[in-house]
Amino acid sequence: MRLGRRAFIAAIAAGGLAAAYLVLSRSSTWERNGGTGGPEKLEVNELVTGLEIPWSIAFLSGDEALVTERPGRVRLVDLGTGRSEVLATVQVSHVGEGGLLGCEVVKPGPRVVLYRTVTSGGSLVNVVTSYDDLTLKDGVDLLGPIEGSSVHDGGRVRLGPDGNLYVTTGDARRPELAQRLDSMAGKVLRIRPDGSPPGDNPFPGSPVYSLGHRNPQGLAWSPKHKRLFATEHGPTGEFGAFAHDELNLIVPGGNYGWPLAIGRAGDPRFIDPVLESGSETWAPSGCDFLTSPDPPELSGCLLFAALRGSALHAVRFDGDELSPVEHFTTLRGTYGRLRDVRQGPDGAIYVLTSNRDGRGTPRTGDDKVLVLGTRR
List, in sequence order, every residue forming a beta bridge with 116; answer none if it has no partner: 100, 127
Cα of first residue to Cα of last residue in the chain, in angstroms, is 45
Question: Rounded to whole angstroms, how far apart are CA atoms 254 and 256?
Answer: 6
The helix/strand count (H/E) of the chain reads as 1, 28
According to the model, what pLDDT value does residue 41 have? 64
pLDDT tens over the chain, length 376 residues: 444 444 444 444 444 332 222 222 222 333 444 333 323 567 899 999 999 999 999 999 999 999 999 999 999 999 999 999 999 999 999 999 999 999 999 999 899 999 999 999 999 999 999 999 999 999 999 999 999 999 999 999 999 999 999 999 999 999 999 999 999 999 999 999 999 999 999 999 999 999 999 999 999 999 999 999 999 999 999 999 999 999 999 999 999 999 999 999 999 999 999 999 999 999 999 999 999 998 999 999 999 999 999 999 999 999 999 999 999 999 999 999 999 999 999 999 999 999 999 999 999 999 999 999 777 6
Edge-first strand listing for the sheet containing 64-69: 54-59, 64-69, 73-78, 84-89
According to the model, what pLDDT value does residue 26 have? 27
According to the model, what pLDDT value does residue 40 have? 54
Tell me the C-alpha to C-alpha distance, in Å, between residue 284 and each of 227, 243, 357.
19, 11, 15
Domain boundaries, position 265: 5-372
pTM of the predicted protein model: 0.91
295 cis-preceded (ω within 30 degrees of 0)? yes
Tell me the C-alpha to C-alpha distance, in Å, between residue 232 and each of 22, 282, 287.
33, 10, 11
According to the model, what pLDDT value does residue 42 have? 75
- Neighbouring residues of 238: CB distance < 8 A, sequence distance ≥ 6: 175, 259
Residue 114: give its domain's CATH number: 2.120.10.30
Sign of the C-alpha dihedral, residues 175, 180, 185, 189?
Answer: positive
Tell me the C-alpha to C-alpha distance, in Å, between residue 170 and each of 87, 141, 216, 235.
28, 18, 6, 12
The domain tally of the chain equals: 1
- Which helix (H) or strand (E) is 10 found in, with range? helix 5-15
- Neighbouring residues of 90: CB distance < 8 A, sequence distance ≥ 6: 72, 74, 100, 114, 116, 129, 136, 139
